[in-house]
Structure 1
């Protein structure tokens, strides 16, 4: 977790660092199960020009290069932006006349956005249109609070995005989704990244839009750009490692808003240096199951239930397997440890089943761990125990050793199967 730096009585503006935390079960794609980039439509929904590049630029260019149809919807034209450089300094919201609503700055930023979209490989771009009214949603602007967090601006216009009715902004998003029919939608998480009121409103409007759409127009997956890292967040995390150089190029197109350094850093008008990262992380906001898919399988089980399920199943498997692992068929000069085979199949099945039910990578190994501990107790708790006899000089002892080691082997095999064929369905 990042804490804002304080300079005297004025805290430094807070921006979360992308890729700061990667969950153990994070997936490496934003695409639906079994989907390839080619033939997939992705809609990115952002609040202002430059947000697409600074927040999701690496991801957008990554999928565009892979063959996906990458579309962008921008909710406002950034009329309330603070301007960098002398060329358009007179358009800066901090210095221009109060009657200037920022239309000229919005026009400049439209041009910058077009250049950025070309750099990212965006197939199509549009601005959200007001429903039943002329023009666009206006940028709400923002201010920095006493703790370095973004807050609403005192001079926000009446027709700005954050003051518009939620139903109106949601309808604008729903209209575009229904037109494009994207497989994947990407917007902000509930905190809007660093708290900008327009980012938060865009998140709210995106979620509201999903409830306004007919079932046939719903995207399969909806992701939110991850803001401040939270290891306790149980929602599915996705990590995309894209090209930081392309992202940097797109960011440089927004000359009035972003200063890109010679190294992989940038800053806004406030001068706070940030890293340009090719790694961008997301949290799953919504998923629409396929017609033949159980909706209960869309989300992983909670950590407590996953732990109880895995450990309890392991104790049961360890006990049952121990009871019949020593069942042996003897023949002339050789023997068949059929009980051991069944016991090991039981361990493998328990491992794979746990992965399927919990949808958590770490829970997959719990049956094997608890079974191994239980069998170890049977071996070492009493020297005269007849449940497991680890003696290589006799057949039943060889089977006992194979049972102990086989639990480890079957757990590793089950984990490999789960990661490749079950948990991969969330990637």
Structure 2
């Protein structure tokens, strides 16, 4: 078995998505001796219900019914599950374009209204617990446009980037990986049968609660998507950042003595470049390249190793006056701050630690 499939995390929005969308892959990983872990964000609380399941829904609620169905389906597939708490099903309405959209009355706690970084933080906690070798989720449009699926996809992309994990998404045509239904047909059909509040199996078709009939996929195709720029692109970006830093350093060094606009604009350009790269990319390596270009140029000129003034002139370009000290020190201080600023993963840990501390104090 492909070592990347030894422990695979499947990221889904609702119960039954795991079997309808990725059932063959889940069953294949499990049947091959791997560990298939299905992470589900909601219990599909806004879903419609088939008449045969209405009594059970009236008794315990749709969320509890679908939770039990999910657990039974995962047993049939040979997988284990992990629920992410905090968000609810957005419901669904069909747009005139033929794509799904959130129900008009989707609650504030629905996935479609969630901050994707919050979703990613919660998913990241699951990644740390499971330690997967790969992640699988929906494609960028969620399969058919469902906003909860799209939110799950975006969260999976962020987490795959943070933890440097391969991310596979369902593809409509042959791509990087394929799983055939036939070797695991019995497992998948048994799992589909567990979702009796949402669908029925009719031969080789699935009949959905909304009346849609869809054939069961005989092959599931998956595409590996790049969550990080290719190595060549990353080096190009670093060289570009280095050159941009050097350019700002040279221009600022020549203009910072022109008060007040020369100094002001030079400092704004320097701090804006360093802070902007750090905020936009989140990359310390890219930020460091810009810092080396900027601060390196300023330092070499300001140190004036020959003692005759920069470029052999009698008057240094960075003299020992207020403007010179500001130009020498403020970009350096901004660089240190930008490089020391916690990255997304560190911020996640800080938020989680704060949340855990708050919850601990409430329990006392």
Q: TM-score range by the shorter chain?
A: 0.5 to 0.7
Corresponding residue of 2:13: 47
Name which of 140, 164, 168 aligns with 1:190. 140
Say yes or no: does 1:140 pair with 2:90: yes
C-alpha distance 143-103 of structure 1, shift in aligned 2 (>3 A): farther
TM-score of the pair, normalised by structure 2 = 0.59
Say yes or no: does 1:127 pair with 2:83: yes
CA distance in 2, matches of 1:87, 1:51: 18
CA distance in 2, matches of 1:58, 1:285: 20
Structure 1, unaligned runs of 5 or more: 1-28, 93-101, 130-135, 298-427
Name which of 78, 92, 109 aligns with 2:66. 109
Does the CA contact (< 8 Å) of 1:137 and 1:159 recur in 2? yes
C-alpha distance 71-90 of structure 1, shift in aligned 2 (>3 A): closer
CA distance in 2, matches of 1:237, 1:171: 28
Corresponding residue of 1:237: 176
Corresponding residue of 1:383: none
Say yes or no: does 1:224 pair with 2:169: yes
Say yes or no: does 1:67 pair with 2:33: yes
Does the CA contact (< 8 Å) of 1:79 and 1:103 recur in 2? no
CA distance in 1, matches of 2:66, 2:157: 27
Name which of 57, 63, 81 aligns with 2:47. 81
Does the CA contact (< 8 Å) of 1:181 and 1:218 recur in 2? no
Corresponding residue of 2:111: 161
CA distance in 1, matches of 2:118, 2:55: 33
CA distance in 1, matches of 2:193, 2:50: 12
SS of the residue corresponding to residue 120 of structure 2 reads: helix
Shift of 1:87: 3.4
Shift of 1:277: 2.0
Alignment of structure 1 residues 237-316 onto 2, 5 Å: 237-242=176-181, 243-261=184-202, 263-286=203-226, 295=231
CA distance in 1, matches of 2:66, 2:213: 22
C-alpha distance 36-183 of structure 1, shift in aligned 2 (>3 A): closer
- Residues paired across the two proteins, number: 232
CA distance in 2, matches of 1:179, 1:118: 20
> Which protein has the bigger helix share?
2
SS of the residue corresponding to residue 189 of structure 1 reads: coil
Alignment of structure 1 residues 191-206 onto 2, 5 Å: 191-206=141-156
Does the CA contact (< 8 Å) of 1:247 and 1:278 recur in 2? no
SS of the residue corresponding to residue 71 of structure 1 reads: strand
SS of the residue corresponding to residue 139 of structure 1 reads: coil
CA distance in 2, matches of 1:157, 1:88: 23
Does the CA contact (< 8 Å) of 1:56 and 1:280 recur in 2? yes
Shift of 1:237: 3.2
Shift of 1:90: 8.6
Q: Which has the higher contact order (CA 8 A, sep 6+)?
A: 1
Does the CA contact (< 8 Å) of 1:48 and 1:78 recur in 2? yes
Name which of 176, 179, 183 aligns with 2:126. 176
CA distance in 1, matches of 2:155, 2:10: 13
CA distance in 1, matches of 2:23, 2:65: 20
Corresponding residue of 1:363: none
| CA RMSD, 1 decimal | 2.7
TM-score of the pair, normalised by structure 1 = 0.50
SS of the residue corresponding to residue 192 of structure 1 reads: coil
Does the CA contact (< 8 Å) of 2:4 and 2:134 recur in 1? no
After the TM superposition, which parts of structure 1 deviate over 6 Å for at least 4 consecutive aligned residues? none
Structure 2, unaligned runs of 5 or more: 234-364
